[in-house]
Amino acid sequence: MNNNPEFKQALAGIYRDAVKKFNIRTTPKLILKQDEENAGMTLGRTAYYDPSNLDVVLYISGRHPKDILRSFAHELIHHVQNERGDLHLGDASDPQYAQNDEHMRNMEKEAYLQGNLLMRDFEDNFKYQQ
């Protein structure tokens, strides 16, 4: 996966699109994490954003590249939220923050909606540029 040039091109393209669309000012650090144990879990982790270090961590073991790209787009929206100052308004320390904190629930809604649209727009444009 790490050596797939088309995958790397897609990651870069999604990021460029996000920068343009959401005016991203700081580049988050991208970490591609191999974790076979996590990959074997039905509800293992797929990705997360660490706002204190500006890290986007993508779990890549056993996943389809398109699914990883979708996770990347989602986490980029969390980065956008962090740059706006919105993430610190809620409490993400609760393991069920998306169910128990209304503000964080709204942050997740935005990340799912805008991240999926970012991915969809990128995919459609990428396919027609080939």
* 21 lies in some domain: yes
Beta strand 55-59 with 29-33 is parallel
* Sequence-distant (≥ 6) Cβ neighbours of residue 122 within 8 angstroms: 10, 13, 14, 17, 69, 73
Q: Which pTM was predicted?
A: 0.92
Q: How many structural domains is the chain composed of?
A: 1
* 34 lies in some domain: no
* 35 lies in some domain: no
* 48 lies in some domain: no
**pLDDT tens readout for residues 7-51:** 999 999 999 999 999 999 999 999 999 999 999 999 999 999 999
**pLDDT tens readout for residues 52-110:** 999 999 999 999 999 999 999 999 999 999 999 998 887 677 678 788 778 899 999 99
* 123 lies in some domain: yes
* 90 lies in some domain: yes
pLDDT at residue 2, rounded to an integer: 63
Whole domain around residue 89: which residue ranges? 5-26+64-129
- Alpha-carbon distance 60 to 32, whole Å? 6
